[in-house]
Amino acid sequence: MDFDSLFKSQIDALKAEGNYRIFADLERRRGAFPQAGCHRDGGVGNVTVWCSNDYLAMGQHPAVVQAMVDTVQACGTGAGGTRNIGGNTVHHRALEAELADLHGKERALLFTSGYVSNWAALSTLGARIPNAVIFSDAGNHASMIEGIRHSRADKVLWAHNDWRDLDRKLHAVGERPKIVAFESVYSMDGDIAPIREIVEVCEAHGALSYIDEVHAVGMYGPRGGGVSEERGLAHRIDLIEGTLGKAFGVVGGYITGSDALCDFIRSFASGFIFTTALPPAVAAAATASIRHLKSSGTERAAQKAAVALVRAKLDHAGIPHMANDSHIIPVMIGDPVKCRMISDILMEDWGIYVQPINYPTVPKGTERLRITPGPNHSDADIDRLVAALGALWKRCAISHAVA
């Protein structure tokens, strides 16, 4: 078997449909973000990053950087093993306490990423709750879909954000243990779930509610506890999952919930048990970031102002973007080749980095640029972005209708 030619032929098929992924070689520079170095053709250029999930620039916040540096100096680099074998460190415990407090829950449990936390928690719940059925929003992230699949539990898809459909489907299943998995902010369309209605439906059916707040933690709510905090619903949700890698600017994932729920996942989840714990310095940096964002609204306010300004200027320039109530601005292109080309021109001619979002991240025909303004994008950065998009819209004759 010639494996390499098999690999290459599948890659060639991706290239032919315009969905081959090319990553930019970026060099983040502390203090300069969203400006960054970009390595290409043996040289280094400067780019403005417009698609980062380091939404609040916490990845370069002095308190976060200092916590990581101090803890590396004090503890060294790695955790030295899984928590089963290497033990807990005070930094992991402190971070879990911080997270439990953030969401008003009894306990939290850390994972190496948000992906792993969803995968491990859902696969454990689905596999170990006898006769369970998992009700999954049709727009759920790959990490939840894979966790549910791995659990081998029965799965029922409900129409995206449609709590009436959820209600009907929960009713149809009758007396079985039910788990309802959904997100607060959906990352590609930037739409926000009707959380109150979903929670009420869950309560009416005695279902366990599971929310992914990955794109909302640090960003929404007076203390950055997510949309569930903002809407006063956190105490009615059984499990809140989040990441430390986006608005908190570090890396890692977690779940929060009751003491029994977290202890159950801790005790049975392969994705928790059999992998090396996060480095203590990462845990300390995440703790510093969460603490900062619990008491400071400055970053959130500046970020919201930048989002509003970008939207207003896009409107003024006649560039269509999807309306939503979040910080995510999808600019629809609707074609993978054009999407890639626009992204390339933005980079080459304007020093603007916006990664094209193509299939399978979004459905075919809904290819887009996903713009995430941050607190440190200046008015000049924003003007430049809108001028570049305006020029490209003329040049590429892209539809001005919102997809």
Ligand X SMILES: *Cc1c(COP(=O)(O)O)cnc(C)c1O
* Residue 137 makes contact with ligand X by CB under 6 A: no
Q: At 299, is the secondary structure helix, strand, or coil?
A: helix
* Residue 118 makes contact with ligand X by CB under 6 A: yes
CB of 92 vs ligand X, minimal distance in Å = 16
Which residues from 253-272 bind ligand X, rule CB under 6 A?
A: 253
- For ligand X, which is the closer residue by CB, 147 or 336? 147
Residue 118 per-residue DSSP state: H
Which residues from 145-174 bind ligand X, rule CB under 6 A?
A: none
Judged by CB under 6 A, the stretch of 26-34, 212-220, 335-343, 383-391 that binds ligand X is 212-220
> Cβ(145)–Cβ(136) under 8 Å?
yes
* Residue 123 makes contact with ligand X by CB under 6 A: no
Question: Catalytic: 246?
Answer: yes
CB of 254 vs ligand X, minimal distance in Å = 9
The pair of structure tokens assigned to 109 is 């449990």
> Cβ(402)–Cβ(332) under 8 Å?
yes
CB of 50 vs ligand X, minimal distance in Å = 17
Judged by CB under 6 A, the stretch of 211-219, 226-234, 307-315, 369-377 that binds ligand X is 211-219
- Tally DSSP H helices, then E strands, for the chain: 15, 14
The pair of structure tokens assigned to 402 is 């919102």
* Residue 210 makes contact with ligand X by CB under 6 A: no
Which of 98, 165, 183, 381 forms a contact with ligand X (CB under 6 A)? 183
- For ligand X, which is the closer residue by CB, 113 or 376? 113
Nearest residue to ligand X, scored by beta-carbon proximity: 114
> Cα–Cα distance between 233 and 244 in angstroms, integer?
21
* 52-78 as b/e: b if 16+ CB within 10 A: bbbbbbbbbbeebbebbeebbeebeee
* Residue 212 makes contact with ligand X by CB under 6 A: yes
Which residues from 217-256 bind ligand X, rule CB under 6 A?
A: 243, 245, 253
Cα–Cα distance list, 221 to 87, 103, 332 (Å): 33, 10, 29
- For ligand X, which is the closer residue by CB, 80 or 139? 139
* Residue 115 makes contact with ligand X by CB under 6 A: yes
CB of 214 vs ligand X, minimal distance in Å = 4
CB of 155 vs ligand X, minimal distance in Å = 17
> Cα–Cα distance between 140 and 183 in angstroms, integer?
7
* Residue 113 makes contact with ligand X by CB under 6 A: yes
The values of phi and psi at residue 246, to 5°, are -100, -105
The pair of structure tokens assigned to 183 is 């997100």
Region of 141 (left: φ > 0; alpha: ψ -120 to 50; beta: rest) is beta
Which residue of the set 105, 246, 294, 313 is catalytic?
A: 246
Verify cis geometry, omega within 30 degrees of 0, for the bond prior to 34: yes
> Cα–Cα distance between 187 and 213 in angstroms, integer?
10
CB of 278 vs ligand X, minimal distance in Å = 11
Residues that bind ligand X (CB under 6 A): 113-115, 118, 141, 143, 183, 187, 212, 214-215, 243, 245, 253
Q: Which residues does the annotation mark as catalytic? A: 246
